[in-house]
């Protein structure tokens, strides 16, 4: 595995790992780790670093919805252009072009359900290319970013064993 | 109460004392655990559940389910080991049962079994249960704890009937290359020793693939190999292991197994079958995580100024203790709440070392190492 891939594997698991600890885990020296991170950022492999948040546990937390969007394209307008329009809204947390029954899967974050509904009906649905939207409010999140949302799993192993 | 001399004479394991000390506190981070911190792969667990739902709760064939033995044989082709699933594979209740059966099948009272040392704590008592005498053969840190021809000669292992080895090794984390094993094999052939090779950590090597002594010239017919699902597949509690060897040895072991165990746990056999069929990726991911922790732990110990040899297998580092290993482990547990196991528990030859298990999550590992660092600074 090359250095960038090794560093990426560590960061994808824990983006707060500091450079010295990544160096110790990968066997690279600290400068090589710093270079790898710079390269990953410069090449747009790593776009940012965020916390994995369980918004249900935050007072005045946020509402999330997954919105299916169907679009109709014409000679002048491709997926790229439509995506660019949708992605510009700050309420859009994630945007994917997907295979299957609809075109885009959009993750929307809002303060309230009304916020999200209003955003979809007033901003997204009226776009000329959009033919249909289906909004799924997220009722409960069990796992996100590869992390299971639950209270700490007790280690029930014997504390010392051969 | 009347107890046999055998039971009465058994020394208490040195592990026990540290277990009790650690259990008495609730703020302990343990680097003393000899099993994975992961759970068994989910696919293997669902296969076990599914087998229960289908009512698969009866005994299996003594030797283990045929489908499982076949799959084990296929799995071992990756180590260039070829065994006939019909007569050369025996599924057991943990690799521990397999080791016990092999010792009972080949050791007569008065026989000597040379044992690589430091080593897992059960081999010596196992030899004694068969009426044999264990002969520790010291491996040295200068040789990265690889057993050499000279080590064997110096210990007088040539007079033994059998030799017990374990690579990748618990407690040192040492691995042995094909060339390393060739020396041991030469000694075994010259002195007509049976070799018992505990390869339970074969799936957890970090520098190149595992090599088995049984694949060296003239060794297959004199070697019994032990392996199982506990370590690489994180299935310790399911108690499933196996032995691979020439049919004469496996037949003898099976005769004892028929009387003492009948068959290995059926539910666990279904889990194991699924593990072999579909869990290579899970094992790979666990191995990647162990490897990062391994590098991290060794590098931190070296930064603290402790000598720590490059362990390349299992999930143990084996640094040198700054002073008496047992006293150090006790002081560290008492003052900083970090549990690890003094090397001498694994035989006198482990004296002066510490077994540090990195089968613990990275954040706890960091905290434990910070505490050890602080402990050393305060001295």
**What residues are paired with A107 via a beta bridge?**
A66, A94
Burial A110-140 (b: 16+ CB within 10 A, else e): beeeebbbebbeeebeeeebbeebebeeeee
Q: How many CB atoms neighbour CB B369 within 10 A?
A: 23
Q: How many CB atoms neighbour CB B300 within 10 A?
A: 23
Probe site for chain A from B121, B290, B299, B333 (most A CB atoms < 10 A): B299
Q: Where are the beta strands (DSSP E) in A90-137?
A: 92-97, 104-110, 130-137
Q: Which residues of A touch B (CB under 8 A)?
A: 9-10, 14, 21, 23-27, 155, 157-162
Nearest CA in chain B to A1: B288
**What residues are paired with A160 via a beta bridge?**
B32
Distance (Å) from the alpha carbon of B342 to chain A's nearest alpha carbon: 11
CATH-assigned architecture of domain B5-40+281-377? Alpha-Beta Complex (3.90)
- Report the range out of A1-10, A74-83, B88-97 with the highest average pLDDT: B88-97
Residue B9: predicted pLDDT:
87
Residue A155: predicted pLDDT:
84
From chain B, pick out residues whose CB is under 8 angstroms from the CB of A27. 295, 299
Number of residues in chain B? 379
| Record: contact B30-A160, CB cut-off 8 A | yes
Residue B337: predicted pLDDT:
96
Burial A54-79 (b: 16+ CB within 10 A, else e): eeeeeeeebbbbebbbebeeeeeeee
Cα distance between residue B264 and residue B244, in whole Å: 15
- C-alpha torsion B228→B230→B234→B235, nearest 10: 100
Residue B341: predicted pLDDT:
96
From chain B, pick out residues whose CB is under 8 angstroms from the CB of A26. 292, 295
| CA-based nearest residue to B39, from B278, B242, B282, B228 | B282
Residue A1 has pLDDT above 70, yes or no: no
| Record: contact A25-B341, CB cut-off 8 A | no
Question: Would you write out chain B's pLDDT as a tens digit for each of its 379 residues?
Answer: 999 998 898 888 888 888 998 999 989 999 999 999 999 999 999 999 999 999 999 999 999 999 999 999 999 999 999 999 999 999 999 999 999 999 999 999 999 999 999 999 999 999 999 999 999 999 999 999 999 999 999 999 999 999 999 999 999 999 999 999 999 999 999 999 999 999 999 999 999 999 999 999 999 999 999 999 999 999 999 999 999 999 999 999 999 999 999 999 999 999 999 999 999 999 999 999 999 999 999 999 999 999 999 999 999 999 999 999 999 999 999 999 999 999 999 988 899 999 999 999 999 999 999 999 999 999 8
Nearest CA in chain B to A162: B34
Distance (Å) from the alpha carbon of B297 to chain A's nearest alpha carbon: 8
- From residue B322, how far is each of B129, B315, B347, B379 by CA, in Å? 36, 22, 19, 10
Residue B194: predicted pLDDT:
98
Residue A153 has pLDDT above 80, yes or no: no
Cα distance between residue B204 and residue B170, in whole Å: 12
Select the CATH number that applies to the domain covering B42-278 from these four: 3.40.920.10, 3.40.1280.10, 3.20.20.150, 3.40.640.10. 3.40.640.10
B129, burial (CB in 10 Å: exposed 0-12, middle 13-18, buried 19+) = middle
Average pLDDT over residues A40-69: 94
Distance (Å) from the alpha carbon of A14 to chain B's nearest alpha carbon: 10
Contact between B32 and B18 under an 8 Å Cβ cutoff? The reply is yes
Residue B319 in tokens: 């640094």
From chain A, pick out residues whose CB is under 8 angstroms from the CB of B18. 160
Contact between B36 and B234 under an 8 Å Cβ cutoff? The reply is yes
Q: Which residues of B touch A (CB under 8 A)?
A: 13, 15, 18-19, 22-23, 28, 30, 32-35, 37, 120-122, 170, 288, 292-293, 295-296, 299-300, 339, 341, 345, 362, 366
The answer to whether the complex's ipTM is over 0.90 is no
From chain B, pick out residues whose CB is under 8 angstroms from the CB of A18. none
What are the phi and psi torsion angles at B289 (to 5°)? -70, -45
Cα distance between residue B138 and residue B348, in whole Å: 9
Residues sharing a CB contact under 8 Å with residue B226, sequence separation 6 or more, in sequence order: B95, B98, B99, B102, B196, B197, B198, B199, B200, B241, B242, B243
Contact between B162 and B196 under an 8 Å Cβ cutoff? The reply is yes
The structural domains of chain B, with segments of one domain joined by +, span: 5-40+281-377, 42-278
| Record: contact B19-A162, CB cut-off 8 A | no
């Amino acid at each position: 595995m090359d250095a960038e891939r090794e560093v990426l594997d560590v960061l994808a698991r824990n983006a707060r790992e500091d450079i010295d600890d990544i160096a110790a885990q990968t066997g690279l020296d600290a400068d090589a780790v710093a270079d790898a991170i710079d390269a990953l950022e410069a090449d747009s492999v790593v776009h940012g670093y965020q916390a994995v948040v369980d918004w249900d546990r935050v007072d005045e937390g946020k509402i999330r919805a997954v919105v299916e969007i169907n679009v109709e394209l014409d000679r002048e307008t491709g997926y790229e252009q439509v995506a660019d329009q949708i992605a510009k809204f700050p309420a859009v947390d994630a945007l994917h072009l997907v295979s299957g029954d609809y075109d885009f899967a959009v993750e929307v974050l809002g303060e309230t359900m009304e916020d999200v509904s209003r955003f979809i009906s007033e901003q997204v649905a009226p776009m000329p290319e959009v033919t249909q939207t289906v909004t799924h409010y997220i009722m409960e999140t069990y796992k996100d970013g590869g992390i299971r949302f639950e209270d700490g799993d007790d280690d029930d192993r014997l504390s010392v064993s051969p | 109460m009347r107890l046999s001399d055998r039971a009465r004479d058994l020394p208490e394991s040195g592990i026990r004392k540290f277990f009790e000390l650690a259990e008495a506190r609730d703020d302990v981070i343990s680097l003393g655990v000899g099993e994975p911190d992961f759970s068994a792969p989910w696919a293997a667990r669902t296969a076990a559940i599914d087998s229960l739902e289908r009512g698969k709760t009866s005994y299996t064939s003594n030797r283990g389910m045929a489908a499982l033995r076949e799959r084990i044989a296929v799995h071992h082709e990756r180590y260039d080991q070829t065994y006939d699933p019909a007569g050369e594979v025996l599924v057991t209740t943990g690799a521990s049962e397999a080791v016990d059966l092999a010792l009972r099948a080949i050791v007569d009272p008065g026989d000597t079994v040379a044992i690589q040392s430091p080593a897992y704590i059960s081999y010596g008592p196992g030899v004694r249960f068969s009426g044999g005498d264990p002969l520790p053969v010291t491996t040295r840190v200068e040789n990265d704890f690889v057993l050499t021809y000279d080590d064997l000669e110096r210990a007088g292992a040539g007079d033994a009937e059998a030799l017990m080895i374990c690579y990748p090794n618990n407690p040192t984390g040492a691995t042995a290359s094909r060339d390393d094993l060739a020396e041991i094999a030469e000694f075994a052939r010259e002195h007509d020793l049976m070799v018992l090779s505990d390869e339970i950590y074969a799936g957890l090597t970090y520098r190149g693939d595992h090599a088995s002594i049984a694949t060296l010239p003239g060794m297959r017919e004199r070697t019994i190999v032990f392996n199982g699902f506990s370590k690489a597949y994180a299935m310790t509690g399911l108690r499933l292991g196996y032995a691979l060897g020439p049919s004469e040895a496996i037949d003898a072991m099976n005769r004892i197994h028929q009387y003492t165990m009948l068959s290995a746990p059926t539910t666990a056999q279904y889990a194991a079958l699924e593990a072999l069929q579909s869990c290579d990726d899970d094992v790979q991911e666990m191995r990647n995580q162990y490897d990062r922790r391994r590098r991290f732990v060794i590098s931190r110990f070296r930064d603290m100024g402790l000598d720590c040899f490059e362990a390349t297998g299992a999930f143990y580092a084996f640094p040198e203790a700054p002073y008496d290993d047992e006293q150090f482990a006790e002081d560290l547990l008492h003052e900083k709440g970090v549990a690890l196991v003094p090397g001498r528990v694994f035989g006198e030859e482990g004296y002066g070392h510490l077994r540090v298990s990195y089968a613990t999550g990275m954040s706890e590992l960091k905290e434990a190492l910070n505490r050890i660092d602080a402990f050393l600074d305060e001295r």
